[in-house]
């Protein structure tokens, strides 16, 4: 069983509003209003091999919890979100039951343009290959989401903050499986209003 970890603790300063709450292009919730980026990611990580989900919140935690219906047990608060993405990964790891997961699927909220089909492909590749890290690639460029085996939890917990999870990928280069995909969304980073507007126009 895997854990899906959605990283949504950042300040979203360049965006001017929480990225997690931006409308996802073309999708509506069952109640009618537009689906948010966070709700989209929560939907696409529903998979038979994903037994638990964690949403790491930080800078805009109260606002996000007011506007998105989240299961209380899925919410993890990173009170030190200013330290960067790795700190959110480490907080999520600390929330997982010891020995309960084979690995985790890391989904940054600013890389929302992924599908359930891609998640299934990555999960299948992880279990079939036995590799410690599974990364999607688009035209040779590595993207997100990334799967890390539970054997690397210790390495993630001790990785240098300035390098983040990349340090673990570099250190275990021989244990990386790249999964080519035609989904450009794996490399699309929604960081500012201009990028978001471009994303909407291209959907």
Express each pLDDT in 86-100 by its tens digit. 999 999 999 999 999
Compute φ and ψ for 189, nearest 5 degrees.
-110, 115
Report in angstroms the alpha-carbon separations of 61 from 11, 57, 68, 90: 10, 5, 10, 17
Compute φ and ψ for 59, nearest 5 degrees.
-60, -40
Asked if the model's pLDDT at residue 201 lies above 90, the reply is no
Counting beta carbons within 10 angstroms of the beta carbon of residue 19, is it exposed (0 to 12), middle (13 to 18) or buried (19 or more)? buried
Express each pLDDT in 19-76 by its tens digit. 999 998 766 555 556 789 999 999 999 999 999 999 999 999 999 999 999 999 999 9
- The CATH class that applies to domain 2-202 reads alpha beta
Asked if the model's pLDDT at residue 195 lies above 90, the reply is no
Predicted model pTM: 0.94
């Amino acid at each position: 069983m895997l854990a899906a970890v959605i990283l949504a603790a950042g300040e979203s300063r360049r965006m001017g509003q929480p990225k997690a709450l931006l409308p996802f292009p073309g999708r509506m919730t069952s109640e009618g209003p537009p689906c948010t980026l966070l709700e989209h990611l929560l939907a696409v990580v529903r998979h038979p091999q994903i037994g638990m989900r964690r949403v790491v919140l930080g800078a805009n935690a109260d606002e996000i919890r007011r506007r998105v219906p989240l299961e209380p047990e899925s919410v993890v608060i990173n009170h030190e979100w200013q330290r960067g993405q790795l700190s959110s990964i480490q907080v999520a790891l600390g929330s997982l039951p010891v020995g309960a997961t084979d690995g985790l699927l890391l989904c940054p909220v600013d890389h929302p343009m992924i599908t359930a089909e891609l998640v299934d492909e990555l999960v299948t590749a992880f279990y079939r290959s036995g590799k410690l890290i599974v990364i999607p690639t688009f035209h040779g460029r590595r993207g997100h989401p990334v799967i890390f085996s539970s054997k690397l939890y210790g390495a993630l917990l001790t990785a240098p903050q300035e390098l983040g999870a990349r340090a673990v990928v570099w250190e275990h280069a021989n244990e990386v499986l790249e999964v080519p995909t035609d989904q450009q969304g794996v490399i699309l980073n929604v960081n500012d209003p201009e990028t978001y507007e471009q994303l909407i126009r291209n959907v």
